[in-house]
Structure 1
Amino acid sequence: MNWTLHFLGVGAAHAVELGSSSVVLERNGEPLLLVDCGPDVLDRYMAAYGKPPGAVYITHTHMDHVGGLERLFFRLWFDDALKGRTRVFVHAGLLPWLQTRVADYPNVLAEGGVNFWEAFQLVTVTRGFWLDGLWFDVFPTRHHMLGTSYGIALEGCFAFTGDTRPVPEVLERFASGRELIAHDCGLVGNPSHTGVDDLEREYSPVLRQRLCLYHYGSAADGATLAGMGYRVAQPGERVLLTAPAPLRPDAG
């Protein structure tokens, strides 16, 4: 079985030419899970797969990661074959923020009579979630404010940090083996994002070899990171993954 991680976009919030940071986990070339849904993500997803996503995981609620959910609502609501079928997985702690950001505006349709989440299957999670027989771990990251950002991992296959400062203790728990680690990184860090100096201070050389960097500030910044020896994701790139590990006895 073939597993790939498809980077729809790789840019920081201001790097619109690189696309909103988002990935799709693919199994045998078919999309299984979309991670994050920024303003341009639905267009990129539809161009790649010809249909809306069946499952979405949200790492945090900054608009470059959730701004496309309104467009996805309209795409689903007016198609009876799609309405209510797309699962949106979100950490329970993020639900008030997500509700405020995208779902609480009066009358999502001008005619009224519709609740935003009726177009989806909203699934709140804490430790993780099941999808198509696979257990996905959900883990806290360090972005902006405690309890507002959560990464995702499929054991043996991949981890996706979302936006974060370095989290060595977390990755030791959720991505300590052969997983590809898609990691937030720009040239210069700040209180909400990782910089290349942070990687070199916080992570071992062995772990850094498994990093694939995204959420950088420009194509030039990406080229600089690559010149420093890091693997840097490009918009539209598909990265081959190892197959998920057998399920742990404590999964779920």
Structure 2
Amino acid sequence: MAIGMSDWTLRLHGVGNASAVALGSAMATIEQGGRPWLTIDCGAEGLTAYQAAYGESPRALFVTHAHLDHVGGFERLFVDTYFDAARRGRVVVYVPAPLVPLVHQRVAAYPNVLAEGGANFWDAFRLVPVGDAFWHDGVRLEVFPVRHHWPDTAFGLRLRGSMVWTGDTRPIPEMLARYADADELIAHDCGLHGNPSHTGVEDLEREYPPGILSRCLLYHYASVADGEALAARGHRVGRPGEVVALAAPTAARAQPWNG
């Protein structure tokens, strides 16, 4: 059964690209009833913004890809989590299966994570490799590959009927035709100028029909001035700290088990 629209929101912790420190690393949290439900990525500036918003560190995260502006907060999150007996081993991290080796190499492979020894990086977390869908808190979310650097190294996330987060990507009209076909808000990578790894505004306007563009919320741009220029072209632009209303998810929900 769907929950009322006002119960679901998306909080943007950061909306900038890797160089736009003042805008924060691109990171967001899906909220239910004003409380964090699932966080997307864990950049350093984004983690700081998360902690300022909620007074604690994330308890459930989805990782889109392994670039450091999206996973650079994990070392600090490890410290916050491992040394808290109530959190250790309980913070769930959903990682698309092809990314697991890359995420491990980026954030977990440093030898002897504690100088005293006796701890592995993943002891702090509950790592859950995921395929094309996974269950979180009894709700099914969908995962799809996007176009960022190399195949199968970056992924988007869909909460059906509510929101789609593209992660870093070039335009993906074929994916959005399938994974954004239920009137979802589409949080989309877009800067003023495109490049081989990221969408530029002219790419966005060329590749997507008006019905898709009207649902796009743009993030991962280079500066405040670039954000204003995107808005001046008639696009909806995400701002750091903004809380965006979401429609109630229509995603499948787990049924009680009577075994």
Residue 67, structure 1, aligned to residue 72, structure 2 = yes
Aligned pairs for 1:75-86 (under 5 A) are 75-86=80-91
Letter in 2 for 1:16: V
Q: CA deviation at 1:49?
A: 0.8
- Alpha-carbon displacement from aligned partner over 1:66-86 (angstroms, at most 9, x marks no partner): 000110000001110111111
Q: Which residue of 2 aligns with 1:99?
A: 104
Q: Structure 1: state its 5+ residue gaps.
A: none
Q: Which residue of 2 aligns with 1:193?
A: 198
Give TM-score, length-normalised by structure 2.
Answer: 0.94
Q: Which residue of 2 aligns with 1:147?
A: 152
Q: CA deviation at 1:41?
A: 2.1
Aligned pairs for 1:218-233 (under 5 A) are 218-233=223-238
Residue 213, structure 1, aligned to residue 230, structure 2 = no
The alignment's C-alpha RMSD in Å is 1.1
In 1: Cα distance, 2:251 partner to 2:187 partner: 21
Q: Which of the numbers 179, 201, 210 marks the counterpart of 1:174?
A: 179
Letter in 1 for 2:125: F
Q: CA deviation at 1:182?
A: 0.2
Q: Which residue of 1 aligns with 2:257?
A: none
Q: Which residue of 1 aligns with 2:44?
A: 39
Q: More deviation in 240-249 or 179-188? A: 240-249
In 2: Cα distance, 1:113 partner to 1:125 partner: 28
Q: CA deviation at 1:235?
A: 0.1
Residue 134, structure 1, aligned to residue 139, structure 2 = yes
Q: Which residue of 2 aligns with 1:116?
A: 121
In 1: Cα distance, 2:227 partner to 2:195 partner: 17
Q: CA deviation at 1:246?
A: 4.8
In 2: Cα distance, 1:190 partner to 1:244 partner: 33
- Alpha-carbon displacement from aligned partner over 1:142-201 (angstroms, at most 9, x marks no partner): 001111000000000000000000001101111112100000000111110000011111
Letter in 2 for 1:148: T
Q: Structure 2: state its 5+ residue gaps.
A: 255-259
* 1:5 partner SS: strand
